[in-house]
Structure 1
Amino acid sequence: RIAHEIKNPLTPIQLSAERLKRKYLKEIGSDPDTFRTLTDTIVRQVGDFGRMVDEFSAFARMPQPVIRPENLGRVMREALVLQQAAHPEITYRVGIPAESPTVPCDRRLIGQALTNLLQNAADAVAARPREDGEGRRIGLTLEPSDEGWTITVEDDGVGLPDGEERARLTEPYVTHKAKGTGLGLAIVKKIMEDHGGRLALEDRPDGPGARAMLILPAEAPAAGRKEEAVLGVGRVGHGA
């Protein structure tokens, strides 16, 4: 309710700034570049604020997962396609088996966790200065592990902070980014814990950057086993 009330005035502010730019930019004779910059700043900052409110709201009312058998490769591709469209300057290297596993999970929540990690990776990649001609790369892979299945998001960005700051990255409201709520990784950690899995963060082993891993169990967590028994869960599904 509070988040809704906060967001109510944001839309007219944003629309008003966009209308000012469209209607009056051609009539500004003295300093059109400044006018354009200021209206763009209003639109951008309102958008950023709206996303921050969404994150606070999502964290405050995190739903319990609805565990069903889901094709993990399909969930990954759905999260990836939105990021590819938003960041065409980044090269995404994808390693998802043709026959992707069917695992017990909440499709929407795992998609949200993946989206958070992919967006973090895109932010980190954008923040690292590049040599001329040096590309920007993010990897997304799915592999079996001793614990079940591991989704890995790897980037060649600025990397993780050191020491105590790194240890606190998954705590709510802790961030090392200039702009951020500090809730992205906290949300991911909570989602994984609710699935009986975990989030792991480490340095990229072969260069600058970071690696984030979503480690999902092959079996449903205790709270979801009753529904799993009704729906049925296999190890491998087709059509990823």
Structure 2
Amino acid sequence: MRILKKQELVQTENKVKETYRYILKENHGSSDFQDAKVKETISNKIFELANVNNVAITLYDLQGKIITSSRPQKENLSSAFLQKLLKTKSIVKEQETATPKNSILYSSWSYLNYQNKPIAIISTETTANKSSWYYHFKILVKQHFLAIIFLLILSGYAAWYISKGITKKIAHISKTLQKTNVEYLETPIEYSDRDEIKPLVDSYNIMLEKLQEQTSILARTEREEAWRDMARQIAHEINNPLTPLKLSVQNFQRKYNPEDENNEEKVRNLTQVVVNQIDIISSITKAFSDFAKMPVNNDSLIDVVKTVKYAVDIFPDHIIEFSTNAEEIYYKIDNIYLTRVITNVVKNGIQAIHHQDKKVKVEIENLQDRFFIKIQDNGSGISEENKDKVFEKKFTTKSTGMGLGLFMVKKIIEDYEGKIWFESIEDEGTTFFIEFLKKY
């Protein structure tokens, strides 16, 4: 809008120049502004021109002195300004004014030529309110209203036509993408048009091929990993009873005395322990032959005190300390599962002890509505960073461990609605607590 205002001011100035040239011509071509008749004529005409064009007009001689002006209190032009005007031939300025508020003063200076010679300097001034810019804009819109409406309609129709074609193509692609899952990976998108959507379709088809390859590799890897897990689990479960069984036999052999009167009873106890552990191994191997399943629950009402006692008897008696505050505690649970739980935790406790004075205390505490099995070792304890990982699958701190023992122990206990947790102090030891609620 400011550019339009400046152009408008220059056009007005040119009209004023034409008027003055006409006045000079009518006065027999005299360009002497000091002539009384000429000066009177242009002085009278300057107010008329100012009112008609709504501008302020000032006429200067070539030395910058005012000849006449439609606005009082005008100053002569400085020599510096005259030098600048001589170089540029025309000067247009704009500046904000304090009065009236929010208005801009536009000023223009240029030479008034007559018969191809500069005879004076003419200046025109006008003010414009900033809010009038909106008015000028409305005028511009009104002048070109029909053209603008036509262009809007044309562009809207073109956009609709183009988008309609693209939308159909995208809808087709969208239906194909909705079917993209493991069952439809072999169905690429068929697209023959060579437009902006073609690279997208090609990228999708390439991604589909890679996804097919990755899915095949993943399925094969999952099958292999499942068999590895199964093999590790079976090996771990079989190893659990074998290790203490070996220790028990070695301990008996070391302490065997042919002249001991209690040999018959010791052999009977050893035999019972060995048979019990062999039954566990037999159940595991049988389950493995039935598509690698772990033993199915065979719950019965058993004496927990007796079962735990048999489970710890296979470990060296100089390591194990067993105590109970009840002679009998009957609970419905699989005897083999409970034996595996105790064997796992005790074995882990022994392995956590790295000094010679190994001690593992197994205690049964019977209460009115529940009973606890506490297994305490004097080992190295569990570090803070590993406490949250103890019951995770595949977590182990041993170089030879599979990381399945305590994970399976927790699962067995929770299957019987029990709880297991531990308290541990580094370099002092760990105590595992197993809790079962009595069911009446």
Q: TM-score, normalised by structure 2?
A: 0.33
In the other structure, the counterpart of 1:93 is 321
The question of 1:156 aligning with 2:378 is answered yes
Q: Deviation at 1:76?
A: 0.5
In the other structure, the counterpart of 1:227 is none
Structure 2 distance, partners of 1:74, 1:152, is: 15
- Go from structure 1 to structure 2 and tell me whether the alpha carbon gap of 1:189 and 1:214 turns closer, same or farther (over 3 Å shift): same
Q: TM-score, normalised by structure 1?
A: 0.58
- Go from structure 1 to structure 2 and tell me whether the alpha carbon gap of 1:177 and 1:161 turns closer, same or farther (over 3 Å shift): farther
- Go from structure 1 to structure 2 and tell me whether the alpha carbon gap of 1:78 and 1:108 turns closer, same or farther (over 3 Å shift): same
Q: Deviation at 1:216?
A: 1.4
Structure 2 distance, partners of 1:72, 1:119, is: 19
Q: Deviation at 1:179?
A: 2.3
Q: Deviation at 1:66?
A: 2.6
State the Cα deviation string for residues 129-169 of structure 1 (Å, max 9, x = none): 45xxxx22110000025761111110001111213x21111
Structure 2: tracts of 5 or more residues without a match: 1-226, 236-284
Q: Deviation at 1:107?
A: 0.8
Runs of 4+ in 1 over 6 A off after TM superposition: none
In the other structure, the counterpart of 2:359 is 137
Letter in 2 for 1:61: K
- Go from structure 1 to structure 2 and tell me whether the alpha carbon gap of 1:174 and 1:3 turns closer, same or farther (over 3 Å shift): closer
Q: Is the 8 A contact 2:380 2:429 kept in 1?
A: yes
The question of 1:123 aligning with 2:351 is answered yes
In the other structure, the counterpart of 1:178 is 399
Figure out how many residues of one structure are paired with residues of the other and give that number: 158
The structure with the larger Rg is 2
Structure 1: tracts of 5 or more residues without a match: 8-53, 220-232, 234-240
Letter in 2 for 1:81: D
Question: SS at the partner of 2:315?
Answer: helix
- Go from structure 1 to structure 2 and tell me whether the alpha carbon gap of 1:213 and 1:64 turns closer, same or farther (over 3 Å shift): farther
Matches within 5 A, 1:1-240: 3=231, 61-84=293-316, 90-97=318-325, 99-125=327-353, 127=354, 129=355, 135-145=357-367, 148-163=370-385, 165-203=386-424, 208-219=428-439
Structure 2 distance, partners of 1:69, 1:147, is: 17
Question: SS at the partner of 1:93?
Answer: strand
- Go from structure 1 to structure 2 and tell me whether the alpha carbon gap of 1:147 and 1:98 turns closer, same or farther (over 3 Å shift): closer
Structure 1 distance, partners of 2:352, 2:383, is: 12
Question: SS at the partner of 2:348?
Answer: helix
Structure 1 distance, partners of 2:406, 2:309, is: 20
Which is bigger in relative contact order (C-alpha 8 A, separation at least 6)? 1
